[in-house]
């Protein structure tokens, strides 16, 4: 008669994952004393909270997690659902969490973003760590939240800065850099964001070694892409205006723009508020830049070579641009941001006064 000493039931979406888990469990249980410890280990797993699972996910993630995702997951730990045991969390708990988020004043798009990041843990917790999080409960909650209007897809922004708004920004940024030469050169960064179509976090990562000036292109490291960001390095074409701005920058470090995204974002947001420019985000500069490419007559493949879009379908909305020509033709600020930074100029070594006196001192003949 065969006696069952341990029984474990798990549900997997794919047979390959199930087979891998069975093989791993059999290997673990074959170790001396593993069967005796299994029931107690099972009880411990039942007491694991969602907050513990979040910490485990952040700790064990093989990829370098994006700053935004890490912040979102850590913020979820401030809610009651993070203190619940993983085994007890159902779809109703997740829906209640979504409602609680909405009460804080965030938009349904933000709630959808939080649940999306959280769903990654629900998909991995069981197969990876044997933590009893129900992936089916998450799928049900996502459907319910969508039907109830608790979540919503992010709307595509169409905001573009006007020439007048940009002139105000550039004047302020230039005056600030003149008064404080060590400040972030926001006038150059703002113009570069438009003409290069680069995102804020991409701009601060560009190194001098990533520049291929002869080929008029730049290596954009860790380019944002759904499901694949870290290590997604892409060569992107540089329009002449963007290349001119880079060549005007001083070599202060190994990075072309050695500043932080926090400093750039704070400076841009603060200045827009000071100048009374409403509803303009730094990311809108990328939208402005891509729109400009199509206004210049770029095809989708040509524009994608600059913007780095992997999917051409995401660029289709720009093909309906009605305006033609260059919005920045004759823009006075273009020559200003392309002017060589004073710190880039090579200074000739000064001769000392002592050397000059020795060189020009007349020689007296002995009498």
Go through 33-66 and write b for each residue having 16 or more CB atoms within 10 A of its CB, e for each that does not: eeeeebeeeeeebeebbbbbbbebbeeeeeeebe
pTM exceeds 0.75? no
Architecture in CATH for domain 163-341: Orthogonal Bundle (1.10)
The string of pLDDT tens digits covering residues 269-315 is 999 999 999 999 999 999 999 999 999 989 889 999 999 888 777 77
- Asked if 83 and 51 count as a contact pair (C-beta separation under 8 A), the reply is yes
The string of pLDDT tens digits covering residues 122-173 is 998 988 888 999 999 999 999 999 999 999 887 777 889 999 999 999 999 9
State how far the Cα of 20 lies from the Cα of 72, in Å rounded to an integer.
31
Q: Which CATH number is 15-148's, of 1.10.101.10, 1.10.150.130, 3.90.1150.10, 1.10.230.10?
A: 1.10.150.130
| H or E element that contains 212 | strand 211-212
* Whether residue 5 has pLDDT greater than 70: no
Least confident of 67-76, 186-195, 209-218, 270-279: 67-76
Q: Which of 176, 175, 223 is nearest to 196 (CA)?
A: 223
State phi, psi for 155 to the nearest 5 degrees: -80, 145
Structure letter (DSSP) for residue 230: T
* Whether residue 318 has pLDDT greater than 70: yes
| Residue spans per domain, the chain | 15-148, 163-341
Task: Assess whether the region 15-148 and the region 163-341 belong to the same CATH fold.
Answer: no
Output the pLDDT for position 166: 96
């Amino acid at each position: 008669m065969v006696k069952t000493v341990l029984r474990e039931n798990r549900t997997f979406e794919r047979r390959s994952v199930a087979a891998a888990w069975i093989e791993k469990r059999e290997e673990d249980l074959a170790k001396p004393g593993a069967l005796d410890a299994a029931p107690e280990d099972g009880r411990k797993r039942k007491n694991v909270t969602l907050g513990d699972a979040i910490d485990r996910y952040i700790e064990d993630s093989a990829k370098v997690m994006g700053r935004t995702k890490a912040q979102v997951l850590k913020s979820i730990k401030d809610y009651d659902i993070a203190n619940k045991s993983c085994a007890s969390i159902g779809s109703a708990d997740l829906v209640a969490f979504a409602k609680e988020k909405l009460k804080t004043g965030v938009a349904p798009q933000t709630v959808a973003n939080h649940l999306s990041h959280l769903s990654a843990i629900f998909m991995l917790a069981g197969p990876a760590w044997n933590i009893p999080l129900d992936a089916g409960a998450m799928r049900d909650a996502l459907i319910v939240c969508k039907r109830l209007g608790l979540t919503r897809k992010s709307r595509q922004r169409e905001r573009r800065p006007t020439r007048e708004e940009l002139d105000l920004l550039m004047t302020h940024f230039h005056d600030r850099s003149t008064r404080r030469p060590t400040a972030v050169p926001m006038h150059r960064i703002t113009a570069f964001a438009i003409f290069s179509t680069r995102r804020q976090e991409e701009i601060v990562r560009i190194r001098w070694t990533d520049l291929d000036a002869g080929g008029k292109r730049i290596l954009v490291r860790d380019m944002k892409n759904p499901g694949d960001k870290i290590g997604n390095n892409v060569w992107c074409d540089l329009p002449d205006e963007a290349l001119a701005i880079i060549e005007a920058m001083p070599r202060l470090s190994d990075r072309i723009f050695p500043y932080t995204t926090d400093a750039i974002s704070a400076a841009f947001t603060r200045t827009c508020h000071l100048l009374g420019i409403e509803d303009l985000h730094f990311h809108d500069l990328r939208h402005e830049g891509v729109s400009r490419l199509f206004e210049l007559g770029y095809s989708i493949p040509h524009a994608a070579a600059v913007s780095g879009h992997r999917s051409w379908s995401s660029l289709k909305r720009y093909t309906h641009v009605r305006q033609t020509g260059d919005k920045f033709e004759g823009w006075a600020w273009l020559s200003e941001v392309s002017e060589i930074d004073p710190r880039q100029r090579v200074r000739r070594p000064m001769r000392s006064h002592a050397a000059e006196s020795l060189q020009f001192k007349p020689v007296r003949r002995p009498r």
